[in-house]
A and B are shown apart, each in its own frame.
Chain A
Amino acid sequence: MLAQLNVAASLPEIVILVAAALILIVDLFIGDDQRHFSYWLTQLALLVALAFTLTSLKLEAVTAFNGLVIDDMLADLLRIACFIAVSLVLFYSRSYLVARGMFRGDFFVLVLFTLLGMQVMITGNNFLTLYLGLELMSLSLYALVASRREHTASSEAAMKYFVLGALSSGMMLYGMSMIYGTTGSLDLATVARAIAAHRDSPALVLLGLVFVVAALAFKLAVVPFHMWVPDVYDGAPTPVTVLVGTAPKIAAFAMALRLLSSALQGAAVDWQGMLIVLSVLSMVLGNVIAIAQTNIKRMLAYSTIANMGYMLLGLLTANRYGYSAAMFYVVVYALTSLGSFGMIMLLSRGGFEADQLDDFKGLNRRSPWWAFIMLLVMFSLAGLPPTVGFYAKFMVIEAVINEGFVWLAVVAVLTSLIGAFYYLRVVKLMYFDDAADTQPIVVRFDTQLVLSINGLLLLVLGILPQQLIARCAIALMHSNFP
């Protein structure tokens, strides 16, 4: 009985859950001047979970809890990516949180619950598990977005996020119920077999598929389900924005892959068409609207939309090569995005938000080093070599050309040209313009170190991308994806 439960497969989840509960209690007993204790405890929990995941890396997939959960290479690698992403979020946001009185235990606990939700999404092998993970993540995020109660923009963003998010969760559940009704199972593999048994997918499955894809599109933030993104990015406190914009995208990618490929590969022709539309719309609209933004958080919001459009290029090929390209894309995107928001928080001081593009003016005069790091981040987002962003775009474009969609590749590169314009504008502000703000940048040493490594990693991985590419390939080749 216990062997069937196979608890070991979920060890990283257990670590995070225990840590969250522990910090919730510990934080009650310490004073405000000792909050850093909870902070480091959170980082420690992430480190322990990371260590457990690293020591249990194995090629073959293992199911646990009677098939509710799957632990394969894909899950391991994406969990690692999430741990690192969340850890970086905490490193970058520490000073920002302290300055705004948000450096409290509940923040860390909510972040850990968000992470737990993401882990469940990544390892889910059953409609209900996936849904549970999605809800756990989303509810924690709603609370985090609203965490600056006195701030109207923050409350407004939380309200929008909650209403639209609840709607999308409803759609997800509705879609799942239709597929369940037709196939008689919630287990992904069983659903896949049931669909494969038919030559054409039953109409009810297709209808369910539409709802599932729409809900996934909402979580991935692709057009036309993107309306919440700019407001939430802008309104939420920056540490929450970076959390919303990075790790959950990795989790949503995993969930999309599990649902579309593990369960609904039989209906690939149907969802492929939907994803093409979503992808093209996102690439075009995201990049075009981003040009008009003056607020860097809103600009990055539209950049996220565009980037998720590129990521979908890999998914829509419906084969392993495309999936591994999409996985590489989403991991690289998270890393780059972390760098960009890290820079915003670096430039923010107590009471001052560096959320306008003009706040980056003349950064090269103030600090050549941080201007260089931001330059790397921007060129990586634009997909220009020698940064790693180039290989992300290269791989998804290769994947679609391999499937014969040359026109999609042309759309992708032309829209990335539009994108280059607004990323270059940030570089222009930093290097060509004079500084409006001449205050020196004072930040904690650990934040500086981690952010520097983050930025340089974009360049190092851009020169030597093989390791990451190979990991993403292995993750998909040894998983049960068609």
Chain B
Amino acid sequence: MMPYLSLSIWVPIVAGLAVLGFRREQDAMFARWVALAGAIAGFLVTIPLWVGFDTKTSAMQFVEFVSWIPRFDIHYHLGVDGFSMLFILLNSLMTIIVVWAGWEVIQTRVAQYMASFLVMSGIMNGVFCALDGILFYVFFEAMLIPMYLIIGVWGGPNRIYAALKFFLYTLLGSILMLVALIYLYSVSQTFEILEWYKVPLEMSAQILLWVAFFLGFAIKVPMWPVHTWLPDAHVEAPTGGSVVLAAIMLKIGGYGFVRFIMPIAPDASRYLTGFMIALSLIAIIYIGFVAIIQADMKKLIAYSSVSHMGFVTLGFFVWSQLGVEGAIVQMISHAFIAAALFLCIGVMYDRLHSRQIADYGGVVNSMPNFAALMMLFAMANVGLPGTSGFVGEFLVILASVKANFWIGFGAAVSLILGAAYTLWLYKRVIFGAVANARVAAMKDLSRREFWMLTVLAVMVLWIGIWPRPIVDVVHVTAADFLVNVSHSKL
């Protein structure tokens, strides 16, 4: 069998390095085509994962196991289960879209731009399929470097501050995780993540490990109150950077909860359930209110992301099959919706060079096709039935009502808030009288932009109408996961 997981990591990275060869300005077109070819090749090698995936087992599939650093028993150990497989496809698909999205927009240092995204894509695939603690950590940290450059080089006016804040904030979370990983090694004499699921740990040790991992992943998600880097990073990043940040990087935080925190420290996780649910609800409700008052479109969607990611952590910590499945579906769905909304804002920004809501109004008059597509994504962000946004949120709300009516009620409030901020944004920007002459002069979607958004629209509708294939992938893994975390490790 082909090492598809290794290919999904290394094909984009090698393609990214190849793109760097076209660094002269006059070679920019070559750089774009090579990058697109690399991204498509990177996506094609992940398709066998979907086709060959066995949905009847929660065991790791497509496993690759090679000794890497014998001195510390560290292995190049890859594998995917129902939680991680979808993210690899998602990430590889998203890479094609960001390469496409930057096609005309990026005119300076094209090769470096494209290479950064391709390399980052490979590294993030590594994060999702690493089954060795140190291998995971290497990928987890390494992905910060391209993102730092993307924000800092191609970002907005305040890019340097945002890039540094992004880097140091996430580094703060991950370095304590390194201590936790090494502590687990000193207890178990192995860096195998799956072995750590079986290591007995005292409550005090579990709590400390929980806190160390929590900081790492909560900052990534990001959860309230460690979310403050996200609005800055999103606002300053170029469109492609925002897309990857929202679609993939935040999901790594959510993924960390099911891969590390809950199975390694199940007793601490149960003990801190109330804390987690409280933080999730604060994110969902409070950040929802914060989103309403934003004057900057990107910031609004950034806060909306924090709010939607609250559903993910809530879904995990109601400890039920519905909740976990809902959380995973929510992550996939939010990836498409947030990516699409950021691309929509990017489309408008490319024409008017402003992200302020006040500068727009009546865009529907000059860009009817665009308005129609954005309407779909706005509705999906609200959670309209028939779109992907509905499925995940509905499952999580259902699971929380079963756990406790008031938790479910709190989560459901977000449907109203989500409708408020999204539709109000849509109304102010798209409808109404044409705000000014520049808006009137905006050209409708180009063919490139149209297809880029259409691909995402199809995904959003597909998951909304027929989520079964995705739920099937997650189902058995989630069931066995819940059995696994119900055993005490004390």
- Binary CB contact string for chain B from 109 to 134 against chain A (1 if under 8 A, 0 otherwise): 10010000000000000000000001
A431 to B20 Cα, complex, angstroms: 15
Chain A residues positioned under 8 Å from B134 (CB to CB): 394
Q: Distance in Å from the Cβ of A217 to the closest Cβ of chain B?
A: 26
Q: Which residues of A contact B145 (CB under 8 A)?
A: 379, 384
Contact with B along A408-434 (1 / 0, CB 8 A): 011001101100110010011001100
Cβ of B407: which chain A residues have Cβ within 8 Å of it? Answer: none
Complex contacts, B186 vs chain A, CB 8 Å:
398, 401-402
> Which residues of B have CB within 8 Å of A398?
72, 182, 185-186
Whether the pair A401, B182 counts as a contact (CB closer than 8 A) is yes
Task: Mark contacts of A384-404 with chain B using CB atoms, 8 A cut-off: 1 yes-contact digit, 0 otherwise.
Answer: 111000110010011001100
Name B71's contact: one of A364, A385, A421, A473 (CB within 8 Å): A473
The answer to whether A428 touches B164, judged by C-beta atoms less than 8 angstroms apart, is yes
Q: Which of A32-40, A49-57, A178-186, A463-471 contacts B (4 or more CB under 8 A)?
A: A463-471
Please pick, from B144, B172, B182, the residue contacting A417 in the complex, using a CB distance under 8 A. B172
Q: Which residues does chain A contribute within 8 Å of B440, judged by CB atoms? A: none
Q: Judge whether A409 and B138 touch: CB under 8 Å.
A: no
User: Given A368-B23, A417-B172, A466-B70, are A385 and B179 neighbors across the interface (CB < 8 Å)?
Assistant: no
Select from chain A the residue with minimum beta-carbon distance to B108. Answer: A365
Which listed residue (B23, B72, B152, B175) contacts A413, Cβ 8 A?
Answer: B175
Is A386 touching B138 in the complex (CB atoms < 8 A)? yes
User: A428 with B179: in contact, given A398-B72, A466-B68, A466-B70 (CB under 8 Å)?
Assistant: no
Inter-chain contact B159/A410, CB cutoff 8 Å? no
Task: Decide yes or no: A409 and B71 within 8 Å by CB, A424-B167, A428-B160 being known contacts.
Answer: no
Contacts of B70 in A (CB 8 A): 466, 470
- Contact check: which of B167, B171, B179 meets A409 at CB < 8 Å? B179
Question: Would B71 and A470 count as touching, CB distance under 8 A?
Answer: yes
In the complex, whether A406 has a CB less than 8 A from a CB of chain B is yes
Give CA–CA (A417, B182) in the complex, Å: 17
Closest chain A residue to B112, Cβ basis: A368
Instruction: Give residues 373-388 of A contacting B (CB, 8 Å).
Output: 379, 384-386
Query: A386, B142: Cβ atoms under 8 Å?
Result: yes
CB-CB contacts below 8 Å: B161-181 with A: 163-164, 167-168, 171-172, 175-176, 178-179
Q: Which residues of A contact B71 (CB under 8 A)?
A: 466, 469-470, 473
B65 within 8 A of partner (CB): no
Count, chain A residues at interface, CB 8 A = 32
B residues in contact with A406, CB < 8 Å? 179, 183
A421 x B168 contact (CB < 8 A): yes
Bound: A104/B298 CA distance, A: 61
Known: A368-B23, A424-B148. A410 touches B179 (CB 8 A): yes
- Residue B141 CB within 8 A of the other chain: yes
A394 and B71 alpha carbons, distance in the complex (Å): 13
Judged by a CB distance under 8 angstroms, whether B69 is at the interface is: yes
Shortest distance from the beta carbon of B233 to any chain A beta carbon, whole Å: 15
- A420-B179 in contact (CB<8A): no
- Residues in B whose Cβ lies below 8 Å from that of A432: 152-153, 159-160, 163
Once the chains are docked, how many angstroms separate the CA of A469 from the CA of B149? 31
CA distance A364 to B159 in the complex (A): 17
In the assembly, what is the distance between CA of A465 and CA of B68, in Å?
9
* Overall SS of chain A's interface: helix
CB contacts (< 8 Å) of B137 on chain A: these are 385
Which of B112, B142, B153, B182 has a CB less than 8 Å from the CB of A397? B182
Q: Is there an interface contact between A413 and B178, defined as CB atoms closer than 8 Å? A: yes
Whole-angstrom CA separation of A413 from B175 in the bound complex: 6
B159 surroundings in chain A (CB, below 8 A): 432
- List, in ascending order, chain A residues with CB within 8 A of B171's CB: 384, 417, 420
What residues of B have a CB within 8 angstroms of the CB of A386 in the complex?
138, 142
Known contacts A384-B141, A417-B172, A432-B152; A401 and B183 CB within 8 A of each other: yes
A384-B145, A385-B138 known; A431-B153 Cβ under 8 A:
yes
Residues of A within 8 A of B141 (CB): 384-385, 390
Complex alpha-carbon distance, A77 and B72, angstroms? 21
- How far is A379 from B149 in the complex, measured between Cα atoms in Å? 13
B2 nearest CB across to chain A (Å): 22
Q: Are B175 and A414 in contact (CB under 8 A)?
A: yes
Bound complex: CA A397 to CA B182 (Å): 8
User: A412–B256 Cα gap in the complex (Å)?
Assistant: 24
- Which residue of the partner chain B has the closest CB to A399? B182
Kindly list chain A residues whose C-beta atoms are within 8 Å of the C-beta of B68: 466
Q: In the complex, what distance in Å separates the CA atom of A405 from the CA atom of B153?
A: 40
B19 shortest CB reach to chain A, Å: 12
Are B175 and A416 interface neighbours, CB within 8 A? yes
Q: Give the nearest-CB partner of A427 in chain B.
A: B148
- B23: chain A residues at CB < 8 Å are 368
Asked if residues B138 and A431 are in contact (CB atoms below 8 Å), the reply is: no
**Residue pair A410, B176 in contact (C-beta under 8 Å):** yes
Q: Which of B72, B145, B149, B178 is packed against the most chain A CB atoms within 10 Å?
A: B178
Q: Are B175 and A390 in contact (CB under 8 A)?
A: no
Contact string against A for B residues 62-100, beta-carbon threshold 8 Å, 1 for contact and 0 otherwise: 000000111110000000000000000000000000000
Residue of B nearest to A470 (CB): B71
Nearest A residue to B20 by beta-carbon distance?
A368
Residues of B within 8 A of A416 (CB): 175
Shortest Cβ distance from A327 into chain B, in angstroms? 13
A413-B175, A417-B171, A420-B171 known; A385 and B152 CB under 8 Å?
no
Instruction: Give CA–CA (A318, B163) in the complex, Å.
Output: 41
User: Cα distance A289–B24 when bound, in Å?
Assistant: 40
* CA gap between A394 and B160 in the complex, in Å: 29
Set of chain A residues within 8 Å of B72, measured between Cβ atoms: 398, 469
Q: Which residues of B contact A417 (CB under 8 A)?
A: 168, 171-172, 175
Closest 5 CB pairs of A and B: A385-B138, A413-B175, A432-B152, A469-B71, A385-B141
Which chain B residues have a beta carbon within 8 Å of chain A's beta carbons? 20, 23, 68-72, 109, 112, 134, 137-138, 141-142, 144-145, 148-149, 152-153, 159-160, 163-164, 167-168, 171-172, 175-176, 178-179, 182-183, 185-186
Could you give 25 example pairs across A and B, Cβ below 8 Å?
A368-B20, A368-B23, A379-B145, A384-B171, A386-B142, A390-B141, A401-B179, A401-B182, A401-B186, A402-B186, A409-B179, A413-B176, A413-B179, A416-B175, A417-B175, A420-B167, A421-B168, A424-B167, A424-B168, A431-B149, A432-B152, A432-B153, A465-B69, A469-B72, A470-B71
Known: A384-B171, A417-B172. 17 other contacts (CB 8 A): A364-B112, A385-B141, A394-B134, A394-B178, A394-B182, A398-B182, A398-B185, A401-B179, A402-B186, A410-B179, A416-B175, A417-B168, A424-B167, A428-B160, A428-B164, A466-B68, A466-B70
